[in-house]
Amino acid sequence: MATRPDSVAESPAVPLPGPLTEAYGQRWRRLVDRWAERPGTVLATLGPPGTSSHLAATFLAERHGLRIELSDTFDAVLAALVERRVDQALVPSAYQGLTRFHWHRDLRLEAYFAQATPEYGIAARADREPSGPVGEVTVAALWEVRRIFADLAPAPLADRPVRWVDADSTQHAAEILAAGGADLAVTNAPGVRRHALRWVASRPGAEIVWTLFGHR
């Protein structure tokens, strides 16, 4: 049976457990205070401009006077943080190698927050269709977002064998497609705009947890 809107409004909100709320707030108060004391704190994350990581970093940088340092891979982000060439790193929970940040003896998790990514989907070049109606199709994508292709591929594409072209970021996938290195790409809305691509199929962004790491 459907629930009436007014009954939803009357339902009491379930508060977060006190210790969790307090710990979350303490992390952010300490971090924001430190940012205020150190203008220009350098925050590293995955580039190039237009990645979901870059957009999340920009959200923080504009509000707290941070300086963003973009790297081509999260391996490079990790190296920059460990070598103390940057102050902090912003890493999405969806990144398959996140545990390397969590378990590194010289790093610690400083804070975390939830924020949605931009629109994601399957993109094609505006001036051509994917090669042929049958046979193998090449798709440029980050490993972490390959599933999006299976979820969104329309009927003409869903049954075709896929050859994956590895990309380091959503923007790199869009670059590969624009340069003719793949038939399709799994990318985000900034990638589509930047490289004058078109959507074959798309979906709203996903809300994910963003983690901020610093030095012990």
pLDDT tens digits for range 28-78:
999 999 999 999 999 999 999 999 999 999 999 999 999 999 999 999 999
| Positions of CATH 3.40.190.10 in the chain | 16-117+208-215, 120-204
Q: What's the length of the chain?
A: 216
pLDDT value at residue 204? 98
Q: Are 108 and 214 in contact (CB under 8 A)?
A: yes
Of residues 69 and 18, the one with the higher pLDDT is 69
Residues 140-180: tens digit of each pLDDT = 999 999 999 999 999 889 989 999 999 999 999 999 999 99
Band (187; pLDDT cuts 50, 70, 90)? very high
- Tell me the CATH number for domain 16-117+208-215: 3.40.190.10
The Cα–Cα gap between 194 and 205 comes to 18
User: Average pLDDT of 110-121?
Assistant: 96
In the numeric block, which tokens belong to residue 15? 């508060």
Class of domain 120-204: alpha beta
Q: What is the DSSP letter of 206?
A: -
Split at pLDDT 50, 70, 90, the class of 129 is confident
For residues 160 and 137, give the distance between their C-alpha atoms in angstroms, rounded to a whole number: 7
- CA 13 from centre of chain: 30
Residue 61 has phi, psi (to 5 degrees) of -60, -40
- Strand blocks (E) in the chain: 42-46, 67-71, 88-92, 107-116, 120-125, 137-141, 162-166, 184-188, 197-203, 207-215
